[in-house]
Structure 1
Amino acid sequence: MKPKKPDATRTIHNPEPDYTRSLLKLPRESYERMYKRLCVLYSESIARATMLELERILMVFYAHKPRKLIEKDKNFDPQERFSQKDIILITYGDLMRDKESSPLATLARFCDTYVKGTINTLHILPFFPSSSDKGFSIIDFETVDPHLGSWLDLEDLENRYQLMFDSVINHVSSKSRWFSEFLNNNPYYKDFFITFKSREDLTPEQRRLIFRPRTSKILTEFHSLKGPIYVWTTFSPDQVDLNYKNPNVLLRIVEILLMYVRRGADIIRLDAVIYLWSEPGTRCVHLEQTHEIIKLLRTILDVVAPRVALITETNVPHNKNITYFGNGHDEAQMVYNFALP
């Protein structure tokens, strides 16, 4: 099998925005679609304010986009995104090591030597600084773990392979700056996490309804500037769930995903995405708001980065898994299937 055509790689954006050229103008239909999604999540007034900031974020992203890539995107045919010839290598970033180069550079050399021309896409599992769970408790979304390498290593890989990035956006590490600022009572981070004043605020009946993949306590006690506080932790005491009822959380996550695109992500895998929106008194999975967030992300990428695909990782029965396709055109382009027939 021949590797992907050269124009399928080399999608790194310019390091600085160019505000001397025409700015992004959102198509009216796309604007209305995004606003409609936000109105499902928030009140009309909050949705309006959030849409203004979202539009600013998209304009900044677009100003980083190389002119050649803008022109290529105009002729992009979504039907050509995937084919039966695509082969993806999934790996952790630290499986290949030597004494003279970083693990990511060693991985690049291995791929160039042994599998180039056989695979065309690399899915490197979370390569960010992390405090637990094999990289899935992320401390900093925007930095490559220095034990693995740097953004330059990934840029080098992107010149020859399509890249899939993991987007672990359900939670962050309890050692992250976001959570530290929350514990320090920084007002901006006040509602970044799902909190309770006591364990009893979540009733036994509400607890029984919650669908979870772990048996640890759903509420973990932390000590903040204002005293003890109980925080929603779906996966572990070290992984604190983000609160998407706060639109600032959603906006920061959008910025991070677009930063991944600027850094060369061709595919973004949304990890553990079924848990994005939690509502006591429900199963806290597959909620309407979760689907609306994914649809919003899809609309955003369709406008500013149509070559980039979303893949949802759900690890649930087939009938639930495929609901993340939406209507086939408005949610994920692909769903992650753990149990193949």
Structure 2
Amino acid sequence: MSRTDDLRHRLEPLVRELYPANPGEVLDGLLALARSWAPTLADAARSRPDEGTAYLITYGDAFRRAGETPLHTLADVLRTHVRDAVTDVHLLPINPWTSDDGFGVIDHREVNPELGSWDDIADLRNDHALALDFVANHVSGSSPWFLAWLARDPRYAGYFLEPGDDFDTASVVRPRTSPLVHEYRRPDGTVARAWTTFGPDQIDVDPRTPAVLLDLTDVLLGYVARGARTVRLDAIGYLWKESGTTSIHLPQTHAVVRIWRALLDALAPGTLLLTETNVPHADNITYFGNGSDEANMVYQFALPPLVLHAFVTGRATALSAWADGIGPVSETATWFNFLASHDGIGIRPTEGLLTDDDRALLVERTLARGGRVSMARRADGTEGVYELNTNYLDALVDPEDDDPDASAVTRGLAAHAILLSVIGVPAVYYHSLLGSGQDREGMEQSDIARRINRAVLDADLLAEELSASPRRSGMLEGLRHLLETRRTLPALSPFAAQSIEHLDERVFAVRRAPGTADELLAVVNVSGHEVALPGLRGTDVVTGRSMEQVLLAPFGYVWLRVEPSTP
């Protein structure tokens, strides 16, 4: 069977599921896209992630320097300070935008000229693999697609969903408290209504119209042609809407992801699809499909709040209980692990994992440290906590601590020792790597809660602070050492098995590659008390120190090559 025939075989049932009225036309359109992009993608095969793989999450304009494009400045900061501590750089939306710090996309195919150009993107690829953000679910109100739809351009008929009175939205799950539908003035003076999951300047596209799927697919393949080793599918769970349903995680959405996976497997083997679904764990993991036909990586959204909960309470019991159920997925799929990101710390993923009292503790810590709490509307019409808006390092620190900066480094490195030791691929947010604190001024001036952890850094001032600030230098050097150590340890492969050890409620302990010659035991003290673990001995590969008995200082950690206990 030829590659084209194999691709047709994989795509045809998915297309029939989505478009039973005209499957042949849509299938032909997808295969035509595959043929047109195939020459550009011929050399796009990528290697599988391994224990050396680590992502840096950053905005294209995270760093500024007068007289330079921000993407050029970013490349310089990476070369000067980050170097090979990470292998991959995840660029949050690089497109022209009007809202939500990049997620209200005007044109998916262009680079925001205020950031730089595709040449700047290519320059970044000289040192690091790239992950690009694909905001597939929605566009800006200034998008040419939306403006053409408002103008009744027949080319864009059906591109956006204008639900009628017979469209039942009673069960729709929302990540926001804003109205689900907003009104817009057409050029002819009439009013259009459009579905807006995230707000009035983020209008959802409607892939029930085949031309929408083809346009989105063309954008996806274009990102890979531009060198993306990973494509992050932002808010993908909301892509397909049907009357009378929750309009989240519908079978049709999964079918779209499978179509894209099939195309990438055929055209650019090894390209990674990363699904972003900030939802309860059981829903989140459905995007693995059967382990080989949907996402290559799925965000571990439960990890950030559970690690924070462990440090707030000094007990790792909830974290350990959850991690007990996490293991290998397949030879081509694994977890995408993170603690901090451009968004807040999601609380919905803790449903069934933490109690209401546990979640209240996290809310209390966030508010005590100057953060905010964002709400979302549930399907029953009530509101609940959606996310905590704070800087992760600051959230780890007790508000009563006498030296919060020193504590942020001690606890921050311990938390990241967990991140880097559990199964999956780790991703570190740029503010965590560089020891930043929260930007309350930016949050208050903009009245955007997420701005508390999105500060833009002056590149030259950063260089000075990395020399003068123990918090900045402590996090960067500490994380660099952990990442350098990690890449030498096959036990920490994203695909190696793990088992959780219940040694003491104050510690999180994970055994990687158990029963193999590479076996490693990572143990992290999440409490402010010294913890002794009698009978556990070995060599800590982080420090090279041989330990006759493991004695962990408050918030101490070891990655241990275990030696048998003496009788």
TM tier, shorter chain?
0.7 to 0.9
CA–CA distance in structure 1, aligned partners of residues 67 and 152 of structure 2: 44
Matches within 5 A, 1:46-195: 46-65=22-41, 69=43, 73=45, 81-195=48-162
Counterpart of 1:257 (choices 195, 206, 220) is 220
- On the 8 A contact 2:229/2:272 being kept in 1, the answer is yes
Q: CA deviation at 1:338?
A: 2.5
Matches within 5 A, 1:201-216: 201-202=166-167, 206-216=168-178
Q: Does 1:309 align with 2:272?
A: yes
SS in structure 1 opposite 2:170? helix
CA–CA distance in structure 1, aligned partners of residues 3 and 202 of structure 2: 36
Tell me the TM-score normalised to structure 2 length.
Answer: 0.52
| 1:16 match | none
CA–CA distance in structure 2, aligned partners of residues 29 and 261 of structure 1: 21
| 1:3 match | none
| 1:279 match | 242
Question: Over aligned residues, Cα RMSD in angstroms?
Answer: 1.5
Higher relative contact order (CA 8 A, sep 6+): 1
Unaligned runs of 5+ in 1: 1-24
One-letter amino acid of the counterpart of residue 265, structure 1: A
> How many residues are matched?
302
Tell me the TM-score normalised to structure 1 length.
Answer: 0.85
| 2:15 match | 38
| 2:291 match | 328
One-letter amino acid of the counterpart of residue 111, structure 2: V
Q: CA deviation at 1:174?
A: 0.9
SS in structure 2 opposite 1:331? coil
| 1:28 match | 5
CA–CA distance in structure 1, aligned partners of residues 6 and 70 of structure 2: 45
Q: CA deviation at 1:63?
A: 2.2
Q: CA deviation at 1:33?
A: 1.3
One-letter amino acid of the counterpart of residue 39, structure 1: R
SS in structure 2 opposite 1:292? helix
Q: Does 1:218 align with 2:180?
A: yes
Q: CA deviation at 1:81?
A: 1.0
Residues 211-255 of structure 1, C-alpha deviation per residue, up to 9 Å, x if partnerless? Answer: 010111111111224521211111101111111110100000110
- On the 8 A contact 1:97/1:103 being kept in 2, the answer is yes
SS in structure 1 opposite 2:169? helix
- On the 8 A contact 1:313/1:337 being kept in 2, the answer is no
- On the 8 A contact 1:196/1:229 being kept in 2, the answer is no
Q: CA deviation at 1:336?
A: 1.2
Q: CA deviation at 1:291?
A: 0.3
CA–CA distance in structure 2, aligned partners of residues 100 and 228 of structure 1: 44
CA–CA distance in structure 1, aligned partners of residues 111 and 6 of structure 2: 36
SS in structure 1 opposite 2:63? coil
Q: CA deviation at 1:62?
A: 1.0
Q: CA deviation at 1:114?
A: 1.1
SS in structure 1 opposite 2:243? coil
| 1:338 match | 301
Q: Does 1:268 align with 2:223?
A: no
Identity %: 41
Residues 262-302 of structure 1, C-alpha deviation per residue, up to 9 Å, x if partnerless? Answer: 11100000000000101121111110000000001000000
- On the 8 A contact 2:61/2:115 being kept in 1, the answer is yes
SS in structure 2 opposite 1:301? helix
CA–CA distance in structure 2, aligned partners of residues 210 and 37 of structure 1: 24
| Structure whose residues are more often strand by fraction | 2
Q: CA deviation at 1:307?
A: 2.2
SS in structure 1 opposite 2:184? strand
- On the 8 A contact 2:41/2:224 being kept in 1, the answer is no
| 1:248 match | 211
One-letter amino acid of the counterpart of residue 63, structure 1: P
One-letter amino acid of the counterpart of residue 297, structure 2: M
One-letter amino acid of the counterpart of residue 294, structure 1: V
CA–CA distance in structure 1, aligned partners of residues 199 and 11 of structure 2: 33
Residues 89-110 of structure 1, C-alpha deviation per residue, up to 9 Å, x if partnerless? Answer: 0011111111131111101001
Q: Does 1:298 align with 2:265?
A: no
State the structure with more CA Rg: 2
Of 217-226 and 232-241, deviating more is 217-226
CA–CA distance in structure 2, aligned partners of residues 26 and 85 of structure 1: 32
Residues 65-114 of structure 1, C-alpha deviation per residue, up to 9 Å, x if partnerless? Answer: 45xx27xx4xx7xxx51122211100111111111311111010010111
CA–CA distance in structure 1, aligned partners of residues 78 and 252 of structure 2: 40
CA–CA distance in structure 2, aligned partners of residues 65 and 287 of structure 1: 30
CA–CA distance in structure 2, aligned partners of residues 149 and 330 of structure 1: 35
Unaligned runs of 5+ in 2: 304-318, 320-567
One-letter amino acid of the counterpart of residue 271, structure 1: D
